[in-house]
Amino acid sequence: MAARVPVSSLAPLALLATLLPQLLAPPAAAEPVATPLVWEAVPGPSDAPAPSALRWQPVPSGGAPSPPVMAPMLTTTTTATAPALRWSVVPDDEVITPQMAAESQPPDPPELAEEKPPAMPEVRNLARGITVNGDPFPDIALQVPNGFAADPEFLVSTTLLGVTRTRSCNTANVEDSLDCADMEGDIFLTPFRSASASLGFQWTVQSLSGRNGGTSQFSAQSLGFRAAVNLTPTTGLAFGGEHIVQLDSSTDLGRNFYLVLSQAIPLRGGPNPWLAVSTMGIGSDFFGYGGNGVLGSTNCLSGNNISSRNYPDGTDCYWGPIGSFSLVFGRHLSIGAEWFGYGIGAGLSVRPLRDIPFTLSLYATDFLGNTPDYIEGLCTTDPCEPRYLVRATMSF
């Protein structure tokens, strides 16, 4: 008879039979766990612009190696901490009150470096004088025009020319010596000006004095012109005419065309240079008067020409050489001499005021007696006695 086994003793075996297939099966692969995103500030260089681009950096999961998980990283620029304010006590005598600030003067502006003058001076015309590097200088002649183009910074020059005695007036025959004196006024207007060329006009009132026995006051008015060009900074060529259009029949100083060439030679540089200035050329009528008319005659457009052999009706006039030479000692003084056909002149010119373009010139003529010899018959004394001329010029 078979033995009977209690049912309770078989329970462990039944549990083992149920679990054994699961224990012998291969383990199932673990499901991956997603790694969370981690943001981290990445310091950049102190001069890096902000904001910067995102950077990605692998972040490890736990301590065990695992496939890298890329997480966005925001790069920022660190900012230096501003220094803290420090307060200190200021002595009473150093305190600046609002009243002191209101009464204080602004500081002087810094001094600008002085411009160096050009190596070769720029010489331009200004009435009977010149400018050098834009700065007015004294006259370089009394009667002979120079050849430089007009300074573009000046539009108008006005002159007054006084003479102690006209050549044909005899002081012995008048009660007052001033009856032999005369005064002329000129306005030089130059509307067309460029860096190296100019075209201008001249208005002359020959008689401002109205002396006894002479030309009546404010009569003998005339118009002229002047065209000039600078060939180099120190060389100028000019063609012009004075008293060309005579507004009445009283003008007796000639219809004077001229063609002149001027050359300035620097003797000393710097901002206030010294110059030797020479002008040579030819001129008509007053410039070709008497024995100076050696270059022949031409038609001078109309009558009343003082060099004409048929004065005052003849339309011909004679031409002769003219010239001047001056030494210019900076912006305030010049001395010179000239040959202007009607005679010889010499004198000096000064510009007394530094910042005002005013020039005063004193010249003498007929101081060599009857030289040139053709003036002998024109003077009221034998030999001819000196005559003095003063010219004042103001430019704008």
Tell me if 97 is assigned to some domain.
no
**Is 38 within a domain?**
no
Is 92 a member of any domain? Answer: no
Q: What is the CATH number of the domain that holds 242?
A: 2.40.160.40
Q: Tens of pLDDT along the chain (396 residues)?
A: 444 555 555 555 555 566 656 655 555 555 555 555 555 655 655 555 555 555 556 656 555 555 554 444 444 455 556 667 788 887 877 778 887 777 777 777 777 777 777 889 999 999 999 999 999 999 999 999 999 999 999 999 999 999 999 888 887 777 777 888 899 999 999 999 999 999 999 999 998 877 666 678 888 999 999 999 999 999 999 999 999 999 998 898 999 999 999 999 999 998 899 999 999 999 999 999 989 999 999 999 999 999 999 999 999 999 999 999 999 999 999 999 999 998 999 999 999 998 999 999 999 999 999 999 889 888 888 899 999 999 999 999
**Does the residue 64 lie in any domain?**
no
Q: Residue 21's pLDDT is what?
A: 60
Whole-model pTM? Answer: 0.71
Q: Are 293 and 105 in contact (CB under 8 A)?
A: no
Contact predicate 292/283, CB 8 Å: no
C-beta of residue 389 within 8 angstroms of C-beta of residue 161: yes
Question: Range of 244's domain?
Answer: 123-395
All residues at 6 or more sequence positions from 11 whose CB lies less than 8 Å from its CB, including other chains: none
Give pLDDT, residue 30: 54
Domain annotation covers residue 305: yes
Question: Is residue 252 one of the residues assigned to a domain?
Answer: yes
Q: Is residue 321 part of a domain?
A: yes
How many domains are contained in the chain? 1
101 domain-assigned: no
Q: How far is CA 61 from CA 28, 37, 40, 73, 83, in A?
A: 22, 11, 15, 16, 41
Rounded CA gap, 145 and 152, in Å? 18
